[in-house]
Chains A and B, each alone.
Chain A
Amino acid sequence: MTAATADARSSSRTLAGSKSRRWRETIIARLFLVAALISVAITAFIILTLFERALEFLLAIDPSQLVAEGWFPRRGMFDLATLLIGSLLVTLIAMLIAGPVGLLSAVYLAEYASPRVRGAVKPVLEILAGIPSVVLGFFALTFINPNVVQTLVPSAEGFNLAAAAVGVGILTIPLVATISEDSMRAVPQALREAAYGLGARPGTTAMRVVVPAAVSGIVAAMILGVSRAVGETMVVAIAAGASGGSLRTVDPFGPGQTMTAAMAALATGSDQVTGDSAAFQSLFFVGLVLFVLTLGLNLVGDVFVRRVRQAY
């Protein structure tokens, strides 16, 4: 009897481990937590910096300077609408390319492709996703513009928003295709079988059953695609020109600036722009607008992504 109690006591001691072992475990757990908190610190620093400097900028200028004929930071003209319109134009054209091409590719990969075809095609999308954006910017400037955009619209200039937008669209295709494909693969096989059982053809099954069932994921893919296109910098900085500033314009076939390209332009000339001038501070103001915009898009996109997971 006493032997058994002693046994139980010693075994519970063994399970808890020696003091040094427990110490080590606690220290390791704390260390892990510290690492995890670093990412929170990064966010905190981004938000703090953006808000602080953007506020400094807004206090330093006259509010009327935010509405002007264009965005010319070095001349004190900070027309935000110019940049918003530029970003909107580029995003719209980019998504007109990335949306259909990405979605149709995803339908093929999820519904038609044999495992072998899939195995061969997926790496192509991954390689495209891995191409640096400067490379696409140069390609947009020296190939897409003269050979595609200027062929279709002869009046298009050497630097223009449309060519940049095509480049951005190409960069966004893999993202749209991957998220759409994942959501279509998550559609249960039973739904397809039911459609075939009713006599539906493969095309009908794909478009009338699978795509509607995966619509949350497809919407998420589009929203995250828009977010990616809005945030793309180098393609626009290289191919859209207007690095000194731009008049407010809705013409996609002339040079123009987006929020990101305006930031790149300010950064490129940072040797000329002194640290405290309003032109330099405007960088943070535009950064804040861009950050809030993409954060909003990502949060909405995330809600849709999560809905896919819950549904099935």
Chain B
Amino acid sequence: MAAVPSGATGAVERSLAGSGRDWRGLVFQVLLLGALLLTLVVLITLLVDQFTRGLPVFVDRGTDFLTSGLSSNPEKAGVGQGIVGTLLTGVLVALLCFPLGILTALYLEEYAPDNRLTRLITINIRNLAGVPSIVYGLLGLTVFVAVFASLGFPNSGRNIMAGALTLTALILPIVIITSAEAIRAVPQSLREGGYGVGASRWQVTSRLVLPAARPGILTGTILALARALGETAPLLLAGAILGTFSTSGSLNDLLTGPYTVLPMTVYDWSRKPQEEFRQLTSAAIIVLLVITLFFNALAIFLRNRYQKQW
């Protein structure tokens, strides 16, 4: 066995390592990291900008800003009505979206035969998810608001139920798609085990598949809910109030009377030229971000906590 000359090994190593440092590669990597950091910088700038402008409102007025109603007087205007509207919308949308979304996802993944109707439903849902949100506003206006109006509801049917139905239609495709993905990730062996001990399809679905897919379904639904709570455009058409209104605060009034949500308040104030309203807009944005980012963080936490590798 002839020993390899030491000079040759060095040449091979040198040639494998390339000529010196990979400067171009390094520049490339810095460029990539720069793109990523740019996003981070934008996010931080946005948050810092809003907080520096909005925090003085909380310092000056404290909880008064959170509880006061809408007003054209910047010293009195608050986000109370917006918070109530946003939270109530959230509850209504969740009540409608969870059952509808999960039933549809279970149907598509567990029950649906592979036929033309099923394919139509699937394609339809995928495309609904990409429809711009303002188009859902047109649906809300001509279907939901119109139905409430024809049923004789006050305020020409422009109530929070019509708004919640509109937002449900908007996020339903997203809830279905993410739930279906979570259900699909449940291993087949679990189902087979269920059928093997004599369970019916409903028993397998409700007691084995659904619990196993629950974290994924929850994550997707909460993210979608957060998106719904931040939406403005569809509610502009579906009857949320820009400007001021008063309510008695009774449940009946909340459900059938005029309503607004936080993003609408932000939009309304952002259009006012006075500097005071600029500050109020930022303060309202802080409240809105706290609510929507709370749901986002909850969803991310749930996913990281319960993420399962089958």
Q: Give me the interface of A with B, judged by CB distance under 8 Å.
A: 14-15, 17, 21, 24-25, 28-29, 31-33, 35-40, 42-43, 45-46, 49-50, 53, 100-101, 104-105, 107-109, 112, 121, 123-128, 130-139, 141-143, 170, 173, 177, 199, 201-204, 206-207, 224, 227, 230-234, 237-238, 243, 260, 263-264, 267-268, 270, 283-284, 287, 290-291, 294-295, 297-299, 301-302
A143→B41 CA distance, assembly (Å) = 14
What residues on A are CB-neighbors of B45 within 8 Å?
A: 143
| Binding-face segment, B57-65, B68-76, B226-234, B246-254 | B226-234
Residues of A within 8 A of B198 (CB): 14-15
User: Residues of B contacting A37 with CB < 8 Å?
Assistant: 121
Which residues of chain B have C-beta atoms less than 8 A from A243's C-beta? Answer: 271
**Chain A: which residue is nearest B231 at the CB level?**
A132
Please state if A132 and B138 are interface contacts (CB–CB under 8 Å): no
Would you mind naming 13 contact pairs between A and B with Cβ atoms under 8 Å apart? A39-B172, A42-B169, A42-B172, A45-B139, A104-B34, A130-B295, A133-B232, A139-B49, A203-B22, A232-B132, A234-B267, A267-B134, A287-B135
Instruction: Give the chain A neighbours of B274 by CB distance below 8 A.
Output: none
Q: Kindly list the 4 A-B residue pairs having the minimum CB-CB distance in the complex, ordered from nearest.
A: A231-B132, A132-B230, A104-B35, A32-B107
Please, how many angstroms separate the alpha-carbon atoms of A107 and B29 in the complex? 9
Does B182 have its Cβ within 8 Å of any Cβ on chain A?
no
Known: A36-B107, A38-B104. A130 touches B267 (CB 8 A): no
- Compute how far the CA of A203 lies from the CA of B30 in the bound complex, rounded to whole angstroms: 11
**Cα(A131)–Cα(B99), bound, Å:** 26
In this complex, how many residues of chain B approach chain A with their Cβ under 8 Å: the count is: 86
* Interface majority SS (helix, strand, loop, mixed), chain A: helix
Bound CA–CA A267/B172 (angstroms) = 24
Q: Which of B106, B229, B271 contacts A238 (CB 8 A)?
A: B271
CA A136 to CA B42, docked complex, whole Å: 11
Contact A131 B106 (CB under 8 A): no
**Contact flag A36-B103 (CB < 8 Å), given A108-B33, A123-B300, A134-B263:** yes
Residue numbers in A under 8 Å from B242 (CB-CB): 268
> How many pairs of residues, A versus B, come closer than 8 Å at their CB atoms?
253
- CB contacts (< 8 Å) of A126 on chain B: these are 296, 300
Q: Are A132 and B288 in contact (CB under 8 A)?
A: yes
Chain B residues within 8 Å of A43, by CB = 124, 127-128
- Closest B residue by C-beta to A119: B304
Residues of B within 8 A of A207 (CB): 28
B266 at the interface (CB under 8 A from A): yes
- B111 with A29: CB separation less than 8 A: yes
The 0/1 profile, CB within 8 Å of A marked 1, for residues 25-56 of chain B is 10011011111101110110110011001000
- 18 extra interface residue pairs, beta carbon distance < 8 Å, beyond A112-B32, A132-B266: A32-B104, A32-B106, A33-B107, A35-B99, A39-B124, A40-B120, A40-B124, A46-B131, A108-B29, A127-B293, A131-B43, A135-B266, A138-B281, A143-B46, A233-B134, A233-B233, A260-B233, A295-B131
Docked Cα-Cα span, A243 to B271, in Å, equals 10
CB distance from A194 to the nearest CB of B (A): 16
Say whether A46 contacts B135, CB under 8 Å. Answer: yes
Partner of A39, one of B121, B266, B293: B121
In the complex, chain B residues whose CB is within 8 Å of the CB of A107: 32
**Contacts A49-B138, A104-B31; A298 near B230 (Cβ below 8 A):** no
How far does the alpha carbon of A231 sit from the alpha carbon of B130 in the complex, in Å?
A: 9
- Does B200 sit within 8 A of A, measured CB to CB? yes
